[in-house]
Amino acid sequence: MMKNSIAALLLAGVCALPLVATSASAEVVYNRGNSADPETLDQHKTQTVYESHILRDLYEGLLAYSADGKCVAGVAKSWDVSEDGLVYTFHFRDDAKWSNGDPVVAGDFVYSLRRIEDPETAAQYSTIMYPIMNAEKVNKGELPKEELGVKAIDDATLEITLNAPTPYFLGQLCHQSALPVHPASVEKYGEDFSKPGNMVSNGAFTLAEFVPNSHVKAVKNPMFHDAADVKIDAVMYYPTEDRGAALRRFQAGELDSNNDAPVEQVDFMRENLGDQFRVAPYLGTYYYAVNTTEDKLADPKIRRALSMAIDREFIADDIWGGTMLPGYSLVPPGIGNYGEPAYADFKDMDQFDREDAAKAILEEAGYSEDKPLEVEIRYNTSENHKNTAVAIADMWKQIGVKTTLLNTDTKTHYANLREHAPFDFARAGWIGDYSDPQNFLMLVESDSGFNYAQWKNADYDALMDKAAMTVDLDKRAEILFNAEKIFMENQPYLPLLYYSSLSLVSDKLHGWEDNLLNVHPSRWMSKD
């Protein structure tokens, strides 16, 4: 970093982090802003997109993401599917290697898939692989992990058997939870296998450094089968929770990209950055989780009243600068294998009528000016999230609700949600792992690790189970729609917005292609 750049950051009140510069004679380093620090680099413990950006650089699954977000051949060069849609046979490339030189074999994936379903792993994403035969029973301790429907036919052939035809299964195999672990490293180091010096990976890059709250460094993996075409020598991932500071660092040339941007400066970025400010459709929903175990929020009518009072159009247009869309369903519109989502029945009501109806519900429940409903909103560090919470608190004030706000860093925020620490409302978001409504609706199944609301509804679970066994896509869509209707009637989550991805991408960086999943593996990047 140049001295004048450091001075500029200090004057702006920004704590300068170690940044890696490049020169004509130096290695090519990609300085990559990543919205938050990873809590883990264990692919079976991961739960955020911040971690996925790093993990997909370090590892390669059976399938992998292309530059434009499509699932393409990875370790598997090809695959066959049986006529009944139940058996997938993957044929491995013969040049797939781990970073220590070991060949990548089918048994590595058997080990990895058994590990994610092993109850002792306590994987947040264990449910994503439930389509695999016996996965749910293994995960719940009802069957030994050896009964999981995965089998190595030989070192170069893997067979996976499903419970039922699953139209989105190949898309699931691109997800970070389907990335393989190196069995010998896990056996040797246990949970420490993911630390620098211990990690053996099979992706385009290997882990060199992980300094919490500072950076993660990955370097080019010479053992990667396509190493000759990887143009980046090292990737430096910097946690950029402060989007405003990230923008200043980007303008100074100290970040080559950042996967978010400060919405309060949208007009400035559009005027001054041109095509370097990217806004693209994104398969995701921004929501507030509600703690349904809290007595004051246990009644669906109260949750509905608070949801009705939120002016989503104002938040989308004025708080997010038109970079988000008002959200009235858990499943975003336009998703695959579905029709129109089950929108909230108040979607088309006038906002003033909504407020009147919300006040009436609260009064009926015994709340008044002398006895207001008091709630707290928790959100993770981001000006965007803060401004949203402040706006919602003001909207709730109009119906007589007293709201306090609590901010924590992203790692703490999601750890609290995962561990069911006490809360009233908590900001969260879900980005689709694959384009299918099940990927959103599974969030609030009773046994889901992402059911932050701790909501349990037997009818909802039964419909989700029925959909999982339904082959006809039209009938399946109808079943899932009915499940979403139950969700919207109960509102354990308050859907607020549908995402667009906001990215800062330097004109010196090449290979970044906007796509619905907003995945951009460093493998495909080059830099002037």
Pick the more confident residue, 21 or 27. 27
Q: Which residues contact 49 (CB under 8 A, 6 or more apart)?
A: 35, 431, 518
Residues of each domain in the chain carrying CATH 3.10.105.10? 281-501
Q: Is the pLDDT of residue 105 over 90?
A: yes
The structure's pTM equals 0.81
Strand 257-258 vs strand 29-34: parallel, antiparallel, or unpaired? parallel
pLDDT at residue 434 in the model: 87
Band of pLDDT at residue 303, cut at 50, 70 and 90: very high
pLDDT value at position 2? 35
Mean pLDDT to the nearest integer, 88-99: 98
| Mean pLDDT value of segment 36-54 | 94
Mean pLDDT of 388-397: 98
Domain 281-501 falls under CATH 3.10.105.10: yes
Amino acid identity of residue 38, one-letter, is P
CB atoms within 10 A of CB 459: 10
Q: Which of helix, strand or coil describes residue 426? A: strand
Using pLDDT thresholds of 50, 70 and 90, give the confidence band for residue 239.
very high
Among left, alpha and beta (phi > 0; psi -120 to 50; other), residue 63 is beta
Mean pLDDT of 111-119: 98
Helix (H) or strand (E) holding 477: helix 473-490
> Would you state the pLDDT for residue 471?
83
- Does the pLDDT at position 6 exceed 80? no
Average pLDDT over residues 321-349: 95
C-beta separation of 236 from 225 below 8 A: no
**Interval 132-188: pLDDT, tens:** 999 999 999 999 999 999 999 999 999 999 999 998 899 999 999 999 999 999 999
Average pLDDT, the chain: 93
Kindly tell me if the per-residue pLDDT of 211 is higher than 60. Answer: yes
Supply the CATH classification number for the domain 3-255+506-527: 3.40.190.10
Per-position b or e across 467-482, b if 16+ CB within 10 A of its CB:
bbebeeeeebbbbbbb
**What SS3 string covers 42-92?**
CCCCCCCHHHHHHHHHHCCCCEEECCCCCEEECCEEEEEECCCCCEEEEEE
H-only helix segments in 398-446: 410-418, 438-441
pLDDT level of residue 26 (50, 70, 90 thresholds): confident
Give the whole-number percent of the chain exceeding pLDDT 70: 95
Check residue 198 and give its pLDDT: 98
**pLDDT value, residue 5:** 35
Can you tell me the mean pLDDT for 242-261? 97
pLDDT of residue 47: 86
Q: Which of 306, 268, 269, 300 is nearest to 287 (CA)?
A: 306
Q: Judge whether residue 286 has pLDDT over 50.
A: yes
CA–CA distance from 109 to each of 106, 132, 148, 177, 460 (Å)? 5, 13, 12, 12, 32
Evaluate if residue 281 carries a pLDDT over 50: yes
Residue 524 contacts residue 66 (beta carbons within 8 Å): yes
Show the tokens assigned to 262.
């400060």
pLDDT for 10 = 31
Whether pLDDT at 294 is above 80:
yes
Rounded percentage of the chain residues whose pLDDT exceeds 90: 89
Is residue 202 within 8 Å of residue 98, measured between CB atoms?
yes
For residue 11, what pLDDT is reported? Answer: 31
Q: 20: pLDDT confidence band, cut at 50, 70 and 90? A: very low
Choice among 12-26, 410-424, 494-508 with the minimum mean pLDDT: 12-26
pLDDT at residue 8, rounded to an integer = 36
Q: How many CB atoms lie within 10 A of CB 238?
A: 22
pLDDT band at 195; cut points 50, 70, 90: very high
Contact 62, 178 (CB under 8 A): yes
What was the pLDDT predicted at 51? 96
d(CA 189, CA 174): 26
At residue 9, does pLDDT exceed 50? no
485-495 residue pLDDT tens? 999 999 999 99
Domain with CATH 3.40.190.10 in the chain: 3-255+506-527
